[in-house]
Amino acid sequence: MASVVSICNDALASIGADAIASIEERSVSAVECKRAYDGVVDDILSRHEWGFLTRRVTGAPVVTDRSSEWTYGYAKPDGATRVLRVLPKPEASYPEFGMFDLPMWDAYGPIPFVEQGGTIYANVPNAIVEYRASTAPVSDFPPLLRYAVSMELAARVAMPIKKDRAIKGDAIQMAELSLKRAIAEDENRYPRRVQQYVSEAELARRGAFG
C-alpha cells in the first residue's frame, strides 16, 4: 500500500539518494522529505480538478437569509474546496422519453445555485451536494498521481541532498512530464460533461412528463 515513506523513497531513488525507514529520522534525506512533502501534495492537488476528490453528501439544511431568491440553504461540506453541483434526490428520475432514460440530475443539466459565506443557496429540496474535497489519504491517490508527487518531491529535495544542479534539472523535467501524464489519465477516467440547464417547464414542453 502506498504511504508517505514509499513516495519519499521513490523520490530519493530517482535522484540517487539513500532510502529512509521513517520520515521522522534525523537523516538528511528524511529531514528534507518531511520539510517538502506537504507543500508538494498541496501544490499538485491545486493544479488540476482531480476527479478522485469528488464527493457527494446529502445537504445539511440551514435557514436561508435570501428567501426571495433561493428557497433552500445548505451548509458547505467540511473539507470542500469548491462546490461543483447541487443535485436533486438520487431516486428522482424521468420516465423514458426520446432515446434514453436519465436520472433527474442528468436530464436537468447543471442546476443554478450560489455558494456564499459557507452557505449553498438553491431551489432544490433535499439536495445532494457534489463538491471537491481538499485532500485525501495518499493511499487513495491514483498510481500516476503518486508518481507525479514523488517526482515533484525529488525536484525539491535534489539540491539540499545531492548539491547537483544537473540532477535537479533532470528531476524538474521528470516532474513536469509525470504531472502532465497524471492529469491526462484523470481527464480520461473522469470526463468533464458540459450541459445546459433545462427547467421543468422546458422539459414539459419537450414531452418529458408523459
65 and 123 part of one domain: yes
Residue 210 maps to a domain: no
141 and 123 part of one domain: no
* 62 and 158 part of one domain: no
Both 40 and 144 in one domain: the answer is yes
Paired with 56 in beta bridges are 130
pLDDT tens readout for residues 127-178: 999 999 988 999 899 999 999 999 999 999 999 999 999 999 999 999 999 9
Number of structural domains (the chain) is 2
In a domain, 161, yes or no: yes
**What are φ and ψ of residue 48, in 5° steps?**
-160, 155
Judge if 84 and 115 occupy the same domain.
yes
Within this chain, do residues 113 and 70 fall inside the same structural domain, yes or no? yes
The answer on 200 and 104 residing in a single domain is yes
Please name the residue that has the C-alpha cell 440547464. Answer: 197
**Are 158 and 33 a contacting pair, CB within 8 Å?**
no
Q: If we measure between CA atoms, which residue out of 82, 98, 96, 85 comes closest to residue 128?
A: 85
Q: Is 116 within a domain?
A: yes
**Could you tell me the three cell numbers for 58?**
446529502
Calculate mean pLDDT across residues 91-113: 53
From 114, 121, 23, select the one nearest 72 (Cα to Cα).
Answer: 121
In terms of residue numbers, what domain contains 20?
Answer: 4-48+136-189
C-alpha grid cell, residue 94: 424521468
Confidence of residue 191 (pLDDT cuts 50, 70, 90): confident
pTM: 0.75
Q: Are residues 87 and 178 in the same domain?
A: no
What contacts 87, CB < 8 A, 6 or more positions away? 56, 104, 105, 111, 124, 127, 128, 129, 130
For residue 118, what is the DSSP state? T
- Distances in Å between the alpha carbon of 87 and those of 39, 66, 91, 110, 131? 33, 20, 11, 8, 11
Give dist(CA 32, CA 27) in Å, integer.
Answer: 9
pLDDT digits (tens, 9 = 90+) for 2-59: 799 999 999 999 999 999 999 999 999 999 999 999 999 999 999 998 999 999 999 9
Are the C-beta atoms of residues 86 and 59 closer than 8 Å to each other? yes
Which stretch of 104-108, 113-117, 172-176 has the lowest confidence by average pLDDT? 104-108
